[in-house]
Structure 1
Amino acid sequence: MDFDLTDLAIVWGARVLSAGLILAAGLWFAFFLSRVVRRQALNHPHIDSTLGTFLSLVIRYAVIALVLIVVLQQFGVQTTSLVAVLGAGALAIGLALQGTLGNVAAGIILALMRPYRIGEFVEINGQEGKVTNLDLLFTELETLDDRRIFIPNGQALANPIVNFTTMGRRRCIIVVGIGYEDDIDKAIEVLREVMGDDPRTLQDPPLWFGTESLGEFSVDISARAWIATDDYLQYRADMLHRIKEAFDAEGIEIPYPHSVEISKGEIELRMPPIKPRVHPGAAANE
């Protein structure tokens, strides 16, 4: 009996020692491989840092899961059923987090395709702003009025993305209306002088001017200029200010709808007197 207990203790001691060595070596290898993958991803010019971090974590936890399965096998645990249970649990979790996992998948695609990077000014899902952060779930934008907008990566990938920083320049479109009695060519010449004299206006591509529409109150003229992306906001504000002053100096009217208030007394004075209607039969009877 003592011999059997001794043998049993030796066997289980060997298993515990073997399992401990496998667990220690596996954990070391998991963290070592994760660090190597992350370092290589950060040094690779075509792999985003967020994607590199995500891949390193996936590899780390995948290796740890394999190590745990091997450790359980050392104690005689049948891992086949355990793997089936873990697979079913993973499927249930995946269905419950379908939207979140969709955002994660979209974040990986955005990190690979790189339609925008941190620091660039973009328009995503109708929202404009500078990209301040990009992770696996959200893209964070900082708008011109200092708001923080978090856009799910799934929505960012499913909608058009406009990157204003890629080319280093942006087109500024200003539409201004003039009166129907004003000279269109003169108004265009004033616009050309105001916008063309500004040193921030790029000469290539050249300025473009033209009549955009004939509105109810005005003739709408479109002016288009290319400028550096960082100058857009201040440039547009300055041009609107200078165009208004230049039009005033040249006597060019910028029309706008007017409202006229008429009092009740004025209505009564303007209305003609109402003559009483006499039925033809009444005069005959008299």
Structure 2
Amino acid sequence: MIQWIIPLAFICAGIIAGLIGEKVIFKKLKTFVTEKEVPGSDIIFQALHRMTFVWFVLAGFFWAILGSPVRPDIANAFQKILTIIFLYSVTLVLARLTSGFVNLLVRRTEGVPTSLLSNLAKIAVLILGTLILLQTVGVQITPIVTTLGIGGLAVGLALQDTLANLFSGFYLVISQQVRTGDYVKLDDGNQGYITDINWRNTTIREISNNVIIVPNSKLASAIFTNYHLPAKEITLTLNVGVSYDSDLELVERVTVEVAKEVMQEIAPELIANEPYMRFHTFNDFSIDYTLYMRVSEFFDQRIGKHLLVKKLHKRYHQEGIQIPFPIRDINLHGN
């Protein structure tokens, strides 16, 4: 029993060191780096989560095996198992880092990342790490790669729809026809914000907060309108008619003033793009015009129209400008 004291001590020391490293050192270092606002620090610490404890425990078991009285062949087997666990943990850390930094890069360039790119990056690192792990422990990977290549043809034939959605997702992301955060309207009338593009589906969130799931292959071949391309800013249009007795110069001045007030409330950054209006029709009961005003994005049209109707109605009433409504005269002739 005495000869097992040192190995057990190494194991206990590894567990204690892992707990201290994870709960104390790792936590304090994370707090320090977060306060310094080091770029990408949250990704690194998320990738290393729990790994400090695992590596210290592995080190404890490794030294315990070296100091234990077990046979060399058993010791070698245990060392190989520890090596596999260590290499897999390193692979997992690299996969997390790759996924996190891919998301960070996409977020900086496009705004909102998609799970498709990050998941594929993580899978690629995991596959590469697994192959390196197998090669390290003495497993020949050439026959495995060959078998996977032949089997991949059969799997590809069996999963044609899945692969079509996968490559369609790639096409949508790379072509940037749609991006997460864009507001789109499909040819079937469904519309909403793109929240994610994964390996099979594109998720669209409606204004009512319902979710529409569209297969990537369907979206890639659909006719749709992207209201965030080429820019998020959009022109709000409002059709109004005023009485034939109105002073059209006054109508134009008052309408543009009200539109500027609304822009100052909902889109002050676009105030340089002054609103304007154009008269266009001598209608049966009114002279009609269309007001054009820039807003920050598609959804802002709702609040913009709401404010315009309220403010125009109030201001027209103050200025004596009438918005006419149809009137029909009925003449009754008696016998």
Alignment TM-score, normalising by the size of structure 2: 0.53
Correspondence for 1:52 = 118
Structure ranking higher in helix proportion: 2
Residue 242 of structure 2 is aligned to residue 242 of structure 1: no
Q: CA deviation at 1:66?
A: 8.2
Q: CA deviation at 1:89?
A: 1.9
In the alignment, the residues of structure 2 paired with residue 80 and residue 130 of structure 1 have an alpha-carbon distance, to the nearest angstrom, of: 41
In the alignment, the residues of structure 2 paired with residue 251 and residue 36 of structure 1 have an alpha-carbon distance, to the nearest angstrom, of: 64
Gaps of 5+ in 2: 1-72
Judged with a 3 Å threshold, the aligned counterparts in structure 2 of structure 1 residues 88 and 143 are, in CA distance, closer, same or farther, namely closer
In the alignment, the residues of structure 2 paired with residue 186 and residue 78 of structure 1 have an alpha-carbon distance, to the nearest angstrom, of: 84
Matches within 5 A, 1:18-57: 27=88, 30-44=91-105, 45-46=108-109, 48=113, 50=115, 51-57=117-123
Q: 2:99 corresponds to which letter in structure 1?
A: R
In the alignment, the residues of structure 1 paired with residue 127 and residue 158 of structure 2 have an alpha-carbon distance, to the nearest angstrom, of: 17
Correspondence for 1:233 = 302
Correspondence for 1:143 = 206
Q: CA deviation at 1:55?
A: 1.4
Correspondence for 2:227 = 162
In the alignment, the residues of structure 2 paired with residue 96 and residue 227 of structure 1 have an alpha-carbon distance, to the nearest angstrom, of: 40
In the alignment, the residues of structure 2 paired with residue 33 and residue 64 of structure 1 have an alpha-carbon distance, to the nearest angstrom, of: 12
In the alignment, the residues of structure 2 paired with residue 136 and residue 218 of structure 1 have an alpha-carbon distance, to the nearest angstrom, of: 54
Residues 177 and 219 of structure 1 are in contact (CA less than 8 Å); yes or no, is this contact kept in structure 2?
yes
Q: CA deviation at 1:93?
A: 2.8
**Structural RMSD (CA):** 4.7
Correspondence for 1:191 = 255
In the alignment of these two chains, the number of paired residues is 245
Residue 154 of structure 2 is aligned to residue 93 of structure 1: no
Superimposed CA distance per residue, residues 127-182 of structure 1 (whole angstroms, 9 cap, x where no aligned partner):
55444444344443443334333344445555342218956x54322111234554
2:255 aligns to what SS in structure 1?
A: helix
Judged with a 3 Å threshold, the aligned counterparts in structure 2 of structure 1 residues 137 and 85 are, in CA distance, closer, same or farther, namely closer
Residue 278 of structure 2 is aligned to residue 210 of structure 1: yes
Correspondence for 2:324 = 254
Residues 37 and 52 of structure 1 are in contact (CA less than 8 Å); yes or no, is this contact kept in structure 2?
yes
Q: CA deviation at 1:49?
A: 5.8
In the alignment, the residues of structure 2 paired with residue 157 and residue 222 of structure 1 have an alpha-carbon distance, to the nearest angstrom, of: 35
Gaps of 5+ in 1: 1-12, 271-286
Alignment TM-score, normalising by the size of structure 1: 0.61
2:208 aligns to what SS in structure 1?
A: coil
Greater Cα radius of gyration, structure 1 or 2 = 1
Q: 1:254 corresponds to which letter in structure 2?
A: P
